[in-house]
A and B are shown apart, each in its own frame.
Chain A
Amino acid sequence: MISSIKETKQDKIFLVFVYLLLTAALIVVAYPLIYILSASISNPTIVAAGQMWLLPKDITFEGYRRVFQDSSIWNGYLNTIIYTVVGTLVNLIVTLPAAYALSRRDFVGRNLFMILFIVTMFFGGGLVPTYLVVRSLGLVDSMWALILPGATSVWNLIVCRTFFQSSIPRELQEAAEIDGCSNFRLYFRIVLPLSTALIAVMALFFGVGHWNNYFSAMIYLNQQEKYPLQLVLRQILVLQQMSAQAGTVDASMATSLNNKAEVAALVKYAVIIVATLPIIAVYPFLQRYFVQGVMIGSVKG
């Protein structure tokens, strides 16, 4: 490229600043994450005293042991997996076909339907009226209260519609129609197989949303055994109700772990890792899809 030949001194200095800025961003974002990882396996007394800066010191797995012994965390994990899988499936089953229908120019009424959907992006009933509807349907304390109200994501619906419009050739649909192919067949045999990237992106967006959701669980679920992971985490991380005395400490650890507050902090670091790991671990491999999703969405601005 020409640019590499004609780099002036001024440009080189500028580029150094760009690299410095990006390095600073990298450190600021990465440091807290590494710190938590290290703190989750370090001696809590050293961490609390501020003597652990980057790499773990005096390694202990006591925090993880306690997390794995806590039945409410396991139960929450299991619930979250169920809610995420079922919720994501419902999202896909509801959103994708509707988006496909709306992408078809010969679909009579598409503009009216579109307006009906878009209005909900800018105006809604609000917290209490929505709560009253969910309650009157008998969904309180049911997993469906977390899944059905958000089953249609209008934003994702628009993204999917844009994708179908721009990526599925119209000629293909017209040819299939002339051959007497029904819309059902067309959708399942031709459109969906051509849209695997979109399905992956949507599954990921919806899945992360369900995995991280706490608010609707907080307002709709009262029974502790139905709590998803995030609500259990809220109790441990925010409401600080984790009892440090839970579980027995073996003799060698007993002396170093005498401070309950420090043990509680250790458990907090461990629980943050346990709760976030599934997403952070798969994310680098799926990053391409996530980014693609945002790009598809931004095409039509």
Chain B
Amino acid sequence: MMHEGAKAVLNPPDAPAKGKSKKLLKKIARNWQLYIFMAPALLTVIIFNYVPMYGIQIAFKNYVPAFGMAGSKWVGFDHFTRFFESYYFWDLIWNTLSISLYGLLVGFPLPILLALAFNEIRTGPFKKTVQTVTYAPHFISMVVMAGMIITFLTPSTGMIINLLEAVGITPPAFLTDPRWFKTVYVLSDVWQATGWGTIIYLAALTAVDPGLHEAAILDGASRLQRIRHINFPVIIPTITILLILNMGGLLGVGYEKILLLQNPLNMEASDVIATSVYRTGLLEAQYSYSTAVGLFNSVVNAILLIVVNQVVRRTSENSLW
């Protein structure tokens, strides 16, 4: 399907130079096997990514499975207005944004700091051990992570609870008090992701010219000064790109973990747009409404990404496009 489409685009029937189009056809024919290489990937992406995009239309309809997508009635923006006017709309927006921003504020600088620290010490058993251990939590599954959080924070028996009691602090009800949900979520993320997050910065730091350091040492620059004026500038492009990507994902918090940590008592702080899409869509089968909420989410995400990228492009040379 796309194969022919591509040909059509590349070989417009009224191509000015006939010889050129013939050459192109020859090129395509010679590499026909490459199109077979493409076919499975293209097919799965069309079926599981593009067909669902066509299905977004149910956000503007009252989708009834028995009538099918085409047979369901158009309702315009009804589902959207219902969502915007619902009493929990601002709660959802606030929870989604605050969890993301909180996570970004705490979680974003730490891998940079840790990577710069790794870069200061010589390669050896100590460095290797710290790296291996701090990378490891990346491979712990979401479910096990949630299980660890719940076990450690269980009142009176959990490890962290016992630890706090040992130093004389009365532990709050981490799991059920809505005021603690976001902190638990963000800090556990930091624990799991900081080590792994250093890799990309360490890769960028390998580009630092050792000659610069030698020259700076001769000029009497301290380690801290060299980090600030030599190492840090090298990773700024990486930082900028990751920051843009993160900002673009502000409304896309890791709902898979939130879903696992959610309970009726912390709901007022833990319900985000994505979890509400899951609940209304798949558990309550309000297909159209849930699709509308999801569409709102992805459109805002796309806009955020474009705006942030635009702002960054105005102020620096590093941007996604």
Residues of chain A touching chain B, judged by Cβ–Cβ distance below 8 Å, are: 2-3, 6, 8, 10-11, 14-15, 18-19, 21-23, 25-26, 28-30, 32-33, 35-36, 39, 47-50, 93-95, 97-98, 100-102, 104, 106-109, 112-113, 116-117, 120, 122-134, 137, 148-152, 154, 157, 182-184, 187, 208, 211-212, 214-215, 219, 230-231, 233-234, 236-238, 261-262, 265, 268-269, 272, 275-276, 279-280, 283-284, 287, 290-291, 294-295, 298, 301
Contacts and interface: CB of A to CB of B under 8 A. Distances in A.
B120 A15 contact: yes
B53 A125 contact: yes
A116 B147 CA distance: 38
Given A50-B162, A113-B6, A238 B147 contact: yes
Contact of A272 (B53, B148, B259, B277): B148
B178 interface: no
Interface-centre pick from A47, A152, A154, A287 (highest chain B CB count, 10 A):
A152
A276 B141 contact: yes
Interface in B162-209: 162-163, 165-166, 191, 194-195, 199-200, 203-204
B282 interface: yes
B40 A97 contact: yes
Given A47-B157, A126-B294, A238 B146 contact: yes
B199 A127 contact: no
Given A106-B27, A108-B6, A128-B287, A237 B144 contact: yes
- In the complex, the 7 A-B pairs of residues with the closest C-beta atoms, listed nearest first: A125-B52, A237-B147, A50-B162, A129-B55, A126-B294, A98-B41, A212-B141
A79 B297 CA distance: 34
B203 A294 contact: yes
Interface residues of B, number: 104
A154 B107 CA distance: 25
Contacts of B295: 126
A79 to B, nearest CB: 14
Nearest to A27: B133
B104 interface: no
A233 B143 contact: yes
16 contacts: A8-B222, A11-B222, A25-B114, A32-B159, A50-B157, A97-B41, A109-B6, A112-B9, A124-B52, A148-B48, A150-B48, A234-B143, A237-B144, A237-B147, A238-B150, A269-B151
A271 to B, nearest CB: 8
B305 interface: yes
B143 A128 contact: no
Contacts of B56: 125-126, 129
A73 B162 CA distance: 30
A280 B129 contact: no
Interface string B3-35: 000110110000000000000100110010111
B234 to A, nearest CB: 13
Contacts of B298: 123-124, 126
A237 B150 contact: yes
Interface in B221-249: 222-224, 237-238, 241, 248
Contacts of A265: 151, 154, 157
Nearest to A22: B130
A98 B38 contact: yes
B48 A50 contact: no
A30 to B, nearest CB: 5
Nearest to A17: B117
Nearest to A261: B157
Given A36-B148, A122-B305, 13 more contacts: A22-B117, A22-B130, A26-B134, A30-B133, A33-B133, A50-B161, A112-B6, A117-B45, A183-B33, A208-B139, A212-B142, A272-B147, A298-B238
